[in-house]
Chain A
């Protein structure tokens, strides 16, 4: 087992900067999600760590050992590919045995290890099958067993759940997490699915246009995003734009919004505030007082989407549509067209430098 350090890594393809001075410390034994839209450089970074491609500048270390010029086959990594990349000419057991077999391990050891790996992914009885006889979920498990059987230092996963349907994907998320905990391997996971990143990982790194936007534990990034992009890419957020006041912002119409956290900005500087839709209380405008809340806004419900356990209200206010999510507690529902008042605390508000 080993942690992975990526320091100041840049990589260009022609004029396109795929990675621009990215530094991330992947902790030993952790589950780290690289999250970003397509073209953000997350797969390029994974391929640098794997060794399929080398950085133009910067350093990559696995377990403290510098590897940026070491080819893939010597890095002792395990990788699961998006389309699984199982060898079609081999049985499931031979696929899993491949890594041990090319290392020249004795036959007896290989058989034991392969069986143990297949048992771990709950495919103990399917060793004799061919890849094309398996379902998507089973192929995924074979790919995982093949990647971990060689006891690699790092497990790299390139959108491994992308090809599965929703229900199976949730099952595999739990399964993958269980296996990762069981063998305690440092895991780096590339995904564009924010929910997957939130539910599975210990830490998340958000990439955009080849740069690391923010990184940290999921809770921290969700609660304290440092950019509008981080706020809206990981989860949903209402963004208010205005001028910094010292402890919040002033909107163009003069309304002030108080923020409980964020950088200290010079008064008058362009800034924005992010508020999660589930942190806002919504109630009928008539007869509700603004008193006791630092942040209040009045608006009109333009649309309501009922989703069973919760409802999403779209509230129009001064040319902006705000999103509010309310748990289904049995309380009276608000109708479209109704005047409402929105209230939330400064602790639910994050100040972001523009």
Chain B
């Protein structure tokens, strides 16, 4: 009896520690974005000045919009292309299919630093150079394997008879895909899209290699700002992003029940 109770408390304490480890730094950062002192001095004095001055920081705002735009376009492009690729790999047998599938995984394991360097050299070589287009192309390339892996995993649970049944009822390939296959793999597509968004929005290394001073993303801009001298504006912008992205995650989890039926 007593041991069970002790174990229960140890368990609770462990979870508490875990959550603290995950969220304490974020909470402190959030609080500090509302503290008047730029040097984190206590006592805590409430202010929204940092949010106000953030509004004046054109460079940071421009970088934020760049990041959001690139993340959204990356999500759309890599989700559409990746889902299509997964369907093709699922439906058709062609020469070199096994090789192609094997080659999809290594990019996930290759350090971004190396991928970034390779992309920089490659984009210069073919004349794209650096800038937002280069960053976008890089992000799509980084996100694609994640989407394909996640959507393909979901497709493994799909019963091929469902497509056959739909065809026997007179549905053409497009109707089969849109009305039968897609609804089934949707949780995978959404999860793949979230991965793609995260890969792009969080991306620092590859973006850093491919950005130019005027054309940059938020993580790169934050890094540059910290090097020049840290201001709580960074806390402010980070807090906004955390609130928005957590809200997005929770909404997605609420509307799309991962794991299929029920």
Q: A residues bordering B, Cβ < 8 Å?
A: 50, 52, 71-74, 76-79, 81-83, 85-89, 98-99, 102-103, 132, 146-147, 150, 156
Min Cβ gap B164→A in Å is 6
A150 to B172, CA, bound (A): 15
Q: Is there contact, CB below 8 Å, between B166 and A150?
A: no
Taking A81-B161, A89-B184 as contacts, is the C-beta distance between A76 and B169 under 8 angstroms? no
Would you give the 0/1 interface string for B154-177, flagging 1 where the beta carbon is closer than 8 Å to chain A? 000001011011111111100100
Least CB separation from A79: chain B residue: B168
Name 27 A/B residue pairs within 8 A (Cβ), A-sorted. A72-B167, A73-B168, A73-B171, A73-B172, A77-B168, A78-B168, A81-B165, A85-B161, A85-B162, A85-B164, A85-B165, A86-B165, A87-B162, A87-B180, A87-B183, A88-B162, A98-B171, A98-B179, A99-B169, A102-B172, A102-B179, A103-B170, A132-B261, A132-B262, A146-B165, A146-B169, A150-B169
Complex-state Cα separation, A146 to B170, whole angstroms = 12
Closest to B186 in A: A89
Q: A299 CB to closest chain B CB, in angstroms?
A: 51
A14: min CB distance to chain B, Å: 13
Determine the chain B residues whose CB is within 8 A of the CB of A87 once the complex forms.
162, 165-166, 179-180, 183
Contacts of B171 in A (CB 8 A): 73, 98-99, 102
Chain A residues with CB below 8 A from B161, complex form: 81-83, 85
Docked pose: A76 CA to B162 CA in angstroms? 17
Interface residues of B in 110-139 (CB under 8 A from A): none
Q: Give Cα distance in the complex from A99 to B172, angstroms.
A: 11
| Cβ B162 vs Cβ A102 within 8 A | no
Query: Which residues of B lie under 8 Å from residue A146 when comparing CB positions?
Result: 165, 169
Contact check: which of A79, A86, A89 meets B183 at CB < 8 Å? A89
Contacts of B162 in A (CB 8 A): 85, 87-88
User: Is B165 a contact partner of A76 (Cβ separation < 8 A)?
Assistant: no
Interface centre among B161, B167, B170 (most CB of A within 10 A): B170
Which listed residue, A83, A89, A102, A156, touches B169 by the CB 8 Å rule? A102
B residues less than 8 Å from A98 (CB atoms): 166, 169, 171, 179
Measured in the bound complex, the distance between the Cα atoms of B172 and A93 in whole Å is 21
Interface SS, B side = helix
Closest to A130 in B: B261
* Whole-angstrom distance between the Cβ of A193 and the nearest chain B Cβ: 20
Known: A83-B159, A89-B183, A102-B179. A73 touches B167 (CB 8 A): yes
B170 touches A150 (CB 8 A): yes
For residue B170, which residues in chain A have a CB less than 8 angstroms away from its CB?
Answer: 73-74, 76, 99, 102-103, 150
List B199-224 residues whose CB lies under 8 Å from chain A. Answer: none
CA distance A146 to B167 in the complex (A): 12
A50 to B167 alpha-carbon distance, docked (Å): 10
Q: A88: which of B164, B168, B184 is its contact (CB, 8 Å)?
A: B184
Distance of A192 from chain B, by nearest CB (Å):
18
Residues in A neighbouring B261, C-beta threshold 8 A: 88, 132
B183 → A minimal CB distance (Å):
4
- Known A52-B167, A71-B167, A132-B261; 6 more pairs at CB < 8 Å: A81-B165, A85-B164, A88-B162, A88-B184, A99-B170, A102-B169
A258–B255 CA distance with the chains assembled, in angstroms:
77
- 3 closest Cβ pairs, A-B complex: A99-B169, A85-B161, A85-B165
B185 nearest CB across to chain A (Å): 11
Q: Give the nearest-CB partner of A72 in chain B.
A: B167
A158: nearest chain-B partner, CB-CB = B161
Chain A residues whose C-beta falls within 8 Å of the C-beta of B172 in the assembled complex: 73, 102
A81 touches B167 (CB 8 A): no
Kindly list chain B residues whose C-beta atoms are within 8 Å of the C-beta of A50.
Answer: 168
From the candidates B159, B175, B183, B262, name the one contacting A102 in the complex (CB within 8 A). B175
CB-based contact B164/A52 at 8 Å: yes
**Interface contact B183-A72, CB-CB below 8 Å:** no
Minimum CB–CB distance from B96 to chain A (whole Å) comes to 20
A52–B172 alpha-carbon span in the complex (Å) = 13
Give the residues in chain B near A72, CB-CB below 8 Å: 164, 167-168
| B184–A79 CB distance below 8 A | no
Bound-state CA distance A74–B179 (Å) is 18
Which residues of A have CB within 8 Å of B184?
Answer: 88-89
Closest Cβ–Cβ distance, residue A223 to chain B (whole Å) = 36
Report the separation of the CA atoms of residues A107 and B165 in the bound assembly, to the nearest whole angstrom: 22
Among A71, A77, A85, A132, the residue within 8 A (CB) of B159 is A85
| Residues of chain B with a CB closer than 8 A to A150's CB | 169-170
Instruction: Tell me which residues across on chain A come within 8 A of B175, comparing CB atoms.
Output: 102
Look across to chain B and name the residue whose beta carbon is closest to the beta carbon of A76. B170
Min CB distance, B131 to chain A, in Å? 42
Complex Cα distance, B262 from A317, in Å, reads 63
Complex: how many Å from CA A132 to CA B260? 12
A50 to B262, CA, bound (A): 33
B164-A81 in contact (CB<8A): yes
Q: Which residues of chain B have C-beta atoms less than 8 A from A132's C-beta?
A: 261-262
Bound-state Cα–Cα, A73 to B168, Å: 5
| Complex contacts, A102 vs chain B, CB 8 Å | 166, 169-172, 175, 179
In the complex the two chains form, what is the Cα distance from A99 to B170 in whole Å? 6
